[in-house]
């Protein structure tokens, strides 16, 4: 498959889901990626990709100039894998969508990505649901959102975010002018977190949709911003699809 991937002149999308090939397969694909000039989308869900394999892909991203969508969800990238990809984001100028959901990133992993977001000017869509980011992870992302000017979609569903994390993101929304969709479903934001987000919506004019699982907003907030808030029932979340547009799909368990 990798041989075809590297040489097939008409191939634009390459999808390998659940092959469980791990490091050896990914290294071959990464090497092919350095030569391929037609593939724009690479999906590698459920492939036992670890930090070392992620580093191989990251190395390819530093020279590849055609890939725009990279989906690595449901792998075990860890903080080191995230750091390698973050390093690539500081030089890559073509990738616009990165999916790293359910990849064991943790707060340390997202800190590396957040640092990259402060300099990257091409990434517009970032999926990070179910990575146990916690309040610390939310804080570093919030800091990045205050300077980043290209990210439009951010998914942080099911990440153990609390009121403090919600407040940090709300503070970023008061100055960020590019984010249009933010998913905070399946987090324990508490009343204080919802209050902070409500205040941010009074200031922010670019966020068109905020996805939540709980209905803790007051009636007055719902009336004022009802067209911008979407309440979802678990286990639904805002996630990537196999199309260029976005929609709701059931979250994997």
Contacts of 1-5 with CB under 8 Å at 24 or more apart are 1/29, 2/28, 2/29, 2/31, 2/32, 3/32, 5/29, 5/32, 5/33, 5/36, 5/39
The tokens describing 138, both together, are 């939310």
Delimit the domains of the chain by residue range. Answer: 2-250
Q: How far apart are CA 91 and CA 81, in angstroms?
A: 16
Closest CA to 229 of 214, 244, 239, 242: 214
Query: Which pLDDT tens digits describe the chain residue by residue (253 residues)?
Result: 444 444 443 456 555 555 566 788 889 999 999 998 889 999 998 889 999 999 999 999 999 999 999 999 999 999 999 999 999 999 999 999 999 999 999 999 999 999 999 999 999 999 999 999 999 999 999 999 999 999 999 999 999 999 999 999 999 999 999 999 999 999 988 889 988 998 999 999 999 999 888 666 667 666 777 677 776 654 444 554 333 333 332 233 3
Q: Specify whether the CB–CB gap between 47 and 18 falls below 8 A.
A: yes
Q: Does domain 2-250 have CATH number 3.80.10.10?
A: yes
The tokens describing 84, both together, are 């390698």
Query: Which DSSP symbol is given to 244?
Result: S
For residue 203, count CB atoms less than 10 angstroms from its CB and return exposed for 0-12, middle for 13-18, buried for 19 or more: exposed
Residue with tokens 């071959």: 28
């Amino acid at each position: 498959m990798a041989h075809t991937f590297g040489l097939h002149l008409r191939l634009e999308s390459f999808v390998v889901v659940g092959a469980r090939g791990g490091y050896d397969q990914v290294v071959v694909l990464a090497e092919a990626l350095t030569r391929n000039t037609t593939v724009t989308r690479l999906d590698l869900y459920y492939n036992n990709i670890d930090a070392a394999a992620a580093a191989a892909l990251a190395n390819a991203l530093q020279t590849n100039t055609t890939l725009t969508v990279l989906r690595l969800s449901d792998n075990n990238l860890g903080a080191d894998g995230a750091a390698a990809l973050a390093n690539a984001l500081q030089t890559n100028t073509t990738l616009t969508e990165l999916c790293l959901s359910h990849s064991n990133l943790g707060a340390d992993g997202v800190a590396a990505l957040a640092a990259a977001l402060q300099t990257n000017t091409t990434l517009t869509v970032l999926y990070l649901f179910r990575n146990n980011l916690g309040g610390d992870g939310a804080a570093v992302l919030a800091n990045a959102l205050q300077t980043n000017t290209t990210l439009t979609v951010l998914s942080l569903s099911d990440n153990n975010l609390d009121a403090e994390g919600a407040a940090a993101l709300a503070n970023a929304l008061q100055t960020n002018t590019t984010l249009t969709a933010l998913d905070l479903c399946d987090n324990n934001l508490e009343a204080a977190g919802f209050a902070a987000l409500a205040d941010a919506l009074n200031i922010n004019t670019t966020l068109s949709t905020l996805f939540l699982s709980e209905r803790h907003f007051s009636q007055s907030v719902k009336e004022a911003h009802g067209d911008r808030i979407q309440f979802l029932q678990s286990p639904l979340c805002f996630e990537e699809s196999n199309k260029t547009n976005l929609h709701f799909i059931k979250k994997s368990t």
